[in-house]
Structure 1
Amino acid sequence: TLDTAIRETEALIGKLKAVKQGLLHDLLTRGIDANGQLRPPQSKAPQLYKESPLGWIPSEWEALPLDTVAVRGSGHTPSKNVSSYWNGGIKWVSLADSHRLDRIYIYETDKEISELGIANSSAVLHPEGTVILSRDAGIGKSAILDCDMAVSQHFIAWRCGEKLNNLFLYFYLQREKPKFEAIAIGSTIKTIGLPFFRSYEIAVPQRWEQDQAAAILMETEQDLAAHDAELEKLRQQKVGLMDDLLTGRVRVTPLLESVQQPAAQTGA
């Protein structure tokens, strides 16, 4: 029974992931019209689109350098030889936290630095809501800071202005991940140089449209997360049940009788 539930949940998660990818494409290339509906694709309604440096985008959108709608920053690594620069309660995102990225928000970090560490390095305390992107190992992974945090020099950070919803930017960067991976260079460790981000452009809808798109994508993410949690719960139940039954801690015979009795009554 548990195996069946696990398979069904895995299949549902697979479908939800496909839906998510479809929504990312549609909402970030076609967007939502004033009636709250997806715009038809450019091939079917060319009058609703215009050419831009980023290709065809809806007529109401703008192709803008990201730096014009968000404040770009980065970070640094305080000297590891000075103990007072570390373990000071300030969360510090580094490559060791790659497994925590791509989950919308980042809550915890592997290491912490101190105010002294910030004062004596080029590290910066970025405010809650800042969007970060890894430009080195784990290229293209992104997240939104759940609280004030610093980052290492391996990350780019954007503090969004009024024209840009930080959730919209997060999902936009998620869709751009293959592009980031393709342009990274380096023989040992691939990286994206800072000049790229100085001229990096994105397609910017009106703010109300960004808000709606972000809300739809967040709902999909939450649904996916709930089913992931349910799958993990089922797997843990299976492990626990196997341990109980295969060690004799729980006898099988009473369980079989409890299953057979309802079946017999149904048959009668």
Structure 2
Amino acid sequence: MPRTDTRTGGRPATTGVIAGQGVLSVGNPAIPTADGFRWVRLTDVARLESGHTPSRSKPEYWNGYVPWVGIRDATGNHGRVIFKTRQWITDEGLANSSARLLPAGTVCLSRTASVGYVVAMGVPMATSQDFVNWVCGPEISSTYLRYLFLAEQETVRRFAHGSTHQTVYFPEAKAFHVCLPERREQEAIAEVLGALDDRIAHNERISGTTNELARAVMEELWFKGDVTSLTRADTVVPHDWRRTTLGALCATGGGAIQTGPFGSQLHASDYVEVGIPSVMPQNIGDNQIAEDGIARIAAADAERLSKYLLAEGDIVYSRRGDVKRRALVRKYEAGWLCGTGCLRVRVGTATEPLFMSYYLGEPEIQEWIAQHAVGATMPNLNTSILGEVPVVLPANNEMRQVNERLSGLDATAAHLQHENRTLADLRDTLLPQLLSGKLRVKDAVRTVEEVV
């Protein structure tokens, strides 16, 4: 049977105080609160639970029906409610480990390696030992606690220790204090913030549909041309089509950090809060650049590194790790820097940037790139590999027709992405003000109603 009792073990709660940025602290910071708010020890209103990883040497413990939350689930879904995980364990794995099946609504905060990421369980799940998990009682809303941890991510990282791997240890977690209003106020705050997140999720679903339609447009092209493979050299293509390589059509280059000449290297001290965005691998999604958490450089550094600035229609690749990821640079992203760990493809006049971006997103092409990447432990991509990517180029009139059909779908996706950035910025602005009581719900509602 799965264990359901709390067994975090180890040392008792620390007696020291580490003040946070606003509404989270180790120990009671005794900071004055807004009317109706109070500092509460989190373990007084929520049950602290740990997690565990069943033995990897026991295949019968894995690929079952119990969702198991790992670090990648948290980093990939930060701030969200999740209903599925990358890995699943069996009832046997649950029974023969220290993992526990936790109820829906449990708030999971990553405490090792990638510290400070938060998700909530949409269904009962287990987690790895990389989390401190909170099963909320009647005095605290799990949705409110999720938003609180989301707002205090940097604070959580300040609580971590370790020279090699940063970790938030259980004595600190047991001493967490949170600044809370009454439960009714918590739910009202969560409802305001949730309205923004619901709109973001709605936009993401529509964007996902437009991407599926775009893939269908590409599939229709290959079907009409009776093209059975994009990568096999012996595949027959129509007489007015041609086979070539990405390097023959486009210029490829690296980001400023890896390939810049002496004197053009960037260091941690070069990054600023307000400046020109520098695109890193973590900012590259499915044909889009995510501005969330993007690094920035000063204008003077951008001028010095001008040869690495992105132009509209460029395609940016992740250089290492998930080398299948690429993003098309939109008009409002022109002038950003191709930064650490990225490669740039500058599309020539023989093809269209939009068509080429969707072509590079074809599953067969993505698999070709992944298979040709170098590196035993972590795949690495370079300009030589990109230059050899096989390209099947249709006749100009057919490519233009496909590009026109893709253009409308892509414009919709780009608009939704831009709107989601605005919504996320508003949410992140309201978040600390509402959680601290500096802004009251009735005042925030009017602002939210104007955009949702």
Shorter chain as normaliser: what TM range? 0.5 to 0.7
For residues 211 and 67 of structure 2, the distance between their equivalents in structure 1, rounded to whole angstroms, comes to 32
CA 1:249/1:200 → structure 2, altered by over 3 Å: closer, same or farther? same
Residue by residue, what CA displacement relative to the aligned partner does 1:1-23 show, whole Å, maximum 9, x if unpaired?
Answer: xxxxxxxxxxxxxxxxxxxxxxx
Report deviation, 1:231.
5.8
Equivalence for 2:397? 248
State whether structure 2 residue 188 is matched by structure 1 residue 212: yes
Q: Which residue of 1 aligns with 2:97?
A: 121
Shift of 1:166: 0.6
Q: Structure 1 pair 54/246, CA: closer, same or farther in 2 (3 Å)?
A: farther
- Paired residue type of 2:194: M
- In 2, the alpha carbon distance for the partners of 1:189 and 1:131 equals 23
One-letter amino acid of the structure 2 residue matched with residue 248 of structure 1: N
User: 1:9: which partner in 2?
Assistant: none
Matched, 1:105 2:57: no
TM norm structure 2:
0.42
Equivalent AA in structure 2 for residue 201 of structure 1: H
Answer yes or no: is the 8 Å Cα contact 2:79–2:146 preserved in 1.
no
The equivalent of 2:42 in structure 1 is 66
Q: Paired residue for 2:120?
A: 144
Q: Deviations over 1:119-171 (max 9, x none)?
A: 11110000111111100122111111011100010011111111111100000
Name the counterpart of 1:44: none
Distance apart, 1:68 and its partner CA: 0.4
- 1:13-92 equivalence runs, <5 A: 53=29, 55-92=31-68
Who is 2:138 aligned against?
162
Q: Which of the numbers 73, 96, 104 marks the counterpart of 2:72?
A: 96
Please give the secondary structure, in 1, of the residue aligned with 2:132: strand
The answer to whether the 8 A contact 1:54-1:202 is kept is no
Asked if the contact 1:86/1:114 (under 8 Å) is kept, the reply is yes
In 2, Cα distance between equivalents of 1:233 and 1:114: 33
Q: Name the % identity.
A: 29
**C-alpha spacing 1:54/1:92, structure 2 compared with 1 (3 Å):** farther
Distance 1:96 1:224, change over 3 A: closer
Gaps of 5+ in 1: 1-24, 30-51, 256-268
Q: Distance in 1 between matches of 2:395 and 2:190?
A: 48
* Cα deviation, residue 206, structure 1: 0.6
Partners in 2 of 1:251 and 1:67 — Cα distance?
A: 62
SS at the partner of 1:56? coil
Tell me which residue corresponds to 2:198. Answer: 222
Asked if the contact 2:74–2:119 (Cα under 8 Å) also holds between the matched residues in 1, the reply is: no
**Out of 154, 178, 181, which is 1:202 matched to?**
178
> Deviation per CA, 1:170-203, whole angstroms, max 9, x where unpaired?
0011111110112222222211111101110001
Q: CA deviation at 1:236?
A: 7.7
Distance 1:56 1:224, change over 3 A: farther
Q: CA deviation at 1:53?
A: 2.5
Q: How many residues align?
A: 206
**Residue 179 in 1 paired to residue 155 in 2?**
yes
In 2, the alpha carbon distance for the partners of 1:181 and 1:246 equals 54
Residue 91 of structure 1: CA displacement?
Answer: 0.6
Kindly indicate whether the alpha-carbon contact (under 8 Å) linking 1:127 and 1:149 is maintained by their aligned counterparts in 2.
yes
Deviates more, 1:68-77 or 1:94-103: 94-103
Question: Which shows bigger deviation, 108-117 or 144-153?
Answer: 108-117
Question: Please, which moves more after superposition, 206-215 or 219-228?
Answer: 219-228
Q: State how far apart, in whole Å, the 2-side matches of 1:102 and 1:55 are.
A: 28
Higher helix share: 1
In the alignment, is the contact (CA less than 8 A) between 2:159 and 2:172 conserved in 1?
no
SS across alignment from 1:79: coil
The amino acid that maps onto 2:66 is I
Deviation at 1:111, TM superposition (A): 1.1
CA distance in 1, matches of 2:91, 2:204: 38
Counterparts of 2:44 and 2:165 in 1: how far apart (Å)?
30
Shift of 1:235: 7.4
Moved more, 101-110 or 191-200: 101-110
| C-alpha contact 1:128 1:148 (8 A) present in aligned 2 | yes
Candidates 190, 210, 227, aligned match of 2:166: 190
RMSD of Structure 2 on Structure 1 (CA): 3.0
Q: Which has the higher contact order (CA 8 A, sep 6+)?
A: 1
Matched residue type, 2:398: R
1:224 CA drift (Å): 2.8
The separation in 1 between residues aligned to 2:399 and 2:176, in whole angstroms, is 61
Evaluate the alpha carbon distance shift between residue 221 and residue 85 of structure 1 in structure 2; reply closer, same or farther with a 3 A threshold. same
The two structures have a TM-score, normalised by structure 1, of: 0.68
Q: Is the 8 A contact 2:66 2:90 kept in 1?
A: yes
